[in-house]
Each structure stands twice: as C-alpha cells, then as structure tokens.
Amino acid sequence: MPSAVLYALIAAALFGASAPLAKSVLGDTSPVLVAGLLYLGSGVGLTCWMVARRWIGTGEPTASIAAADLPWLGLAVLSGGIAGPVLLMYGLAMTDAASASLLLNMEAVLTAVLAWFVFREQFDRRILIGMLLIVAAGGLLAWSPTATGGAQVRSGPLLIVAACLCWALDNNLTRKISGNDAVQIAAIKGLVSGLVNVGIAAWTGASWPAAPTILLIAGIGLAGYGVSLVMFVIALRGLGTARTGAYFSTAPFVGAAFSLLLFREQPPLLFWIAGALMAAGLWLHLTERHAHRHRHEAMDHTHPHVHDEHHQHTHEFEWDGREPHTHRHHHDALVHEHQHYPDLHHRHRH
C-alpha cells in the first residue's frame, strides 16, 4: 500500500526532526512544561484545522469517534500523551541529541513486541531479526564506558526507552480506533495531554519561557506531534501496528541528521555502529513481503474507503459516486489470496 507507506514516512520525518528541535529550545525550561506546550500546540493547531475544515467544506471523508472507542482513546492519551512526553523531555536533558534520536527507534521495537505478543498481530522471522538488530543498536547507545574500564547504565537513555514503551502501548491502542477521523484523534490527544502536562508544570512552580519561545515550542509540537500523529493514524489503517512502527523507525535517522547540524556534535564510534545495526534492521522491515490464502470474516464497521475488492457493497442512501467516502458498511465473508498487511481488513489468524 504505497500511500500508507508514504504517510508513515512523513510521520517519521516530522517526529524525527522534533526531538533535536525541542532540545534546542529546552534550556532551563521545565521538561514537563515543554512536553505540555508541544502537545498543546498540536491540539490547538489541529482543532483550528477541524473548525476550518468544516467551515470551508473540504469534503474530506471522516468518521467521528464512537462512544465505544473512548476507553481506548483515553488509555492511549494517558500512556502516549502524558507519560511518554514527560519521560522523553527528562531523558533529552541528560542525553546527547544524536544518541537520543537513535534511541527513539526503540519505539518501533516495543510497538512490535506488544503488537505480536499482546495484541496478536502477525509477524515472521525476517521482521523478528530486524527488530533484534534495532534492540542491539539501542543497547549500544544506552551504555557508556567508565573510568575503570567497566560500564554503567545512563539514566537519560533509560528514560527515553521508557517513553518509547509508553508510545508503543499508545500505538497499539490507537490501532483499535484508527478507522476514525485521524485529525480528531490527534486533536483530542494533543489538547488533553497538553492541558494535563502544563497544569502539572504550573502546580510544581515551573517558570514560563518568553512568548516567542512558547510559540516556537507550540509550532514544533503542531508539526512533530500533531501532523505527524495524523499521518501515523492513517498509516495504521493500511499497514497495521508493527509495520507502521517499522517505517516510523526512520524517524531517529532524521533526528540524528538534524542533531549533527544543529549542535555540531561529534558522535563516538558506538554511535556509528549502532546506526549501521539500525539501518540493517530497517532494511529487513521495509523489504518484507507477506502473501497467502486467507479468510475475511463477515463484519460491519465505519471508515474512509473506496470500492476495491474488499468493499463491494450497496448503499442505503443516494451516492454521488465520489471516492473515498465514509459510512457504515457490511463485509461478507471472503476467501482469496494476495499480498497484504494486517490492516483494518486483514487481522486474521495464521
């Protein structure tokens, strides 16, 4: 699904650039406040777009969040929108920007592990080997030699890995509601997460930066957290959680490139070794192919769609022929064979 892959890569590029840019404005500002402003910028910006979209009538096909999906959204906001950003900001404050950017690849690994073993998404040996390479690379970045020749675990990288775990849970929870309006999902996450984190920062007495800095942080959040999340949710529909995470794992390489340009850092040899391992793991992910005879169970759901081989249905309303469009529709049971990913219609057993 080329379009879904493109959405995932755009999401990765925007998020990857946001980490070093956020570090560049962090300074003495409270990490919790920065995290809140990043998400608040995302939520406010996307909410403005939702209002403008309705006012100008863009005709975009959307499906509003149903009441049954709210618990999944709430858990996703708690893990990925509140805990994750705070852990990341504290981790960034204690980690060089280039290494921090590469460590963000752990999100893809942890996302896949949860998708495979908790949410029962399909995987194969090729994807598993790729994930192991990324884990090895993350391990190299999390350790540093001591003066006695030993090694120590640095708290900064561990906090970044903890943030990745929160986002991994968020990704798997969001997959369950990915058929809904991606902008609405991202806007709610941004507003709730931003308000909670800014409230925590104010309660703990955090000092506010100057107005231009606040606007800059909010702008970084709109692009790197808001628009990026919209693209990510759309990619989830077509690729499934683990594979979207695999494409999204290009984000740290974008972040590392920005870091080297912004901070003129001279990364150690371990950085380059870790980068090579991550590149090899990513190549295995991107070149994976999956095809077999499979069965679609009968189901009813709502999401944007075109009338492809999986959407051969009639309409109970007058249809003007435009695609894609959104409405509740029925899928009959179907058995066939083609290349596919664990998208909205391919969550079957193997």
Q: Please, what is the Cα angle at 264 between 138 and 156, to 5 degrees?
A: 35
pLDDT of residue 40: 94
CA dihedral 132, 138, 141, 145 (to 10 degrees): -60
Question: How many structural domains are present in the chain?
Answer: 2
116 and 229 in a common domain = yes
Answer whether residue 76 is part of any domain. Answer: yes
pLDDT at 147: 37
Residue 346 lies in a domain: no
303 lies in the same domain as 193: no
Residue 142 is encoded by which pair of tokens? 């999390």
pLDDT, mean of residues 322-343: 65
349 within some domain: no
pLDDT for 150: 43
Domain that holds residue 192: 2-292
Residue 350 within any structural domain of the chain: no
Same domain, 205 and 316: no
Same domain for 277 and 322:
no
Would you say residue 15 lies in a domain? yes
The answer to whether 101 and 127 are in contact (CB under 8 A) is no
Do residue 188 and residue 80 come from a single domain? yes
Q: Give Cα separations from 238 to 48, 159, 224, 242 (angstroms).
A: 27, 31, 21, 11
Q: What is the pLDDT of residue 272?
A: 80
pTM for the predicted model, two decimal places = 0.74
Task: Please choose, from the candidates 32, 43, 13, the residue with its C-alpha nearest in 3D space to the C-alpha of residue 251.
Answer: 13
Task: Say if residue 152's pLDDT is above 50.
Answer: no
Least confident of 19-23, 235-239, 255-259: 255-259
Residue 153 in any domain: the answer is: yes
DSSP code string of 288-338:
---EEEEEEPPEEEEEEE-SSTT-----SS-----SSEEEEEEE--EEEEE
Report percent pLDDT > 90 for the chain.
Answer: 20
pLDDT tier, 151 (very low <50, low <70, confident <90, very high otherwise): very low
Do residues 251 and 314 share a domain? no
Residues 306 and 287 grouped into a single domain:
no
| Nearest of 169, 160, 158 to residue 110 by alpha carbon | 169
Residues 179 and 135 both lie in one domain: yes
> Is 188 or 341 the better-scoring residue by pLDDT?
188
Are 185 and 300 in the same domain? Answer: no
Establish if 345 belongs to a structural domain.
no
Cis preceding-peptide flag for 268 (omega within 30 of 0): no
Q: Are residues 132 and 59 in the same domain?
A: yes
How far, in Å, are 45, 123, 153, 228, 234 from residue 186 at the CA level? Answer: 10, 27, 34, 9, 11
List pLDDT tens digits, range 215-237: 999 999 999 999 999 999 988 88
User: Do 305 and 278 belong to one domain?
Assistant: no
In this structure, of 5-9, 77-81, 130-134, 190-194, the range with the lowest mean pLDDT score is 130-134
Segment 143-152 shows an average pLDDT of: 45
Q: What is the C-alpha end-to-end distance of the chain, expressed in Å?
A: 21
* Residues sharing a CB contact under 8 Å with residue 305, sequence separation 6 or more, in sequence order: 311, 323, 324, 325, 326, 329
* Residue at 50 is within a domain: yes
**Which candidate, 67, 66, 48, places its Cα nearest to that of 56?**
48
Is the per-residue pLDDT at 52 higher than 50?
Answer: yes
Provide the pLDDT confidence category of residue 252 given band limits of 50, 70 and 90: low
Q: 135 with 236, same domain?
A: yes
pLDDT averaged over every residue in the chain: 78
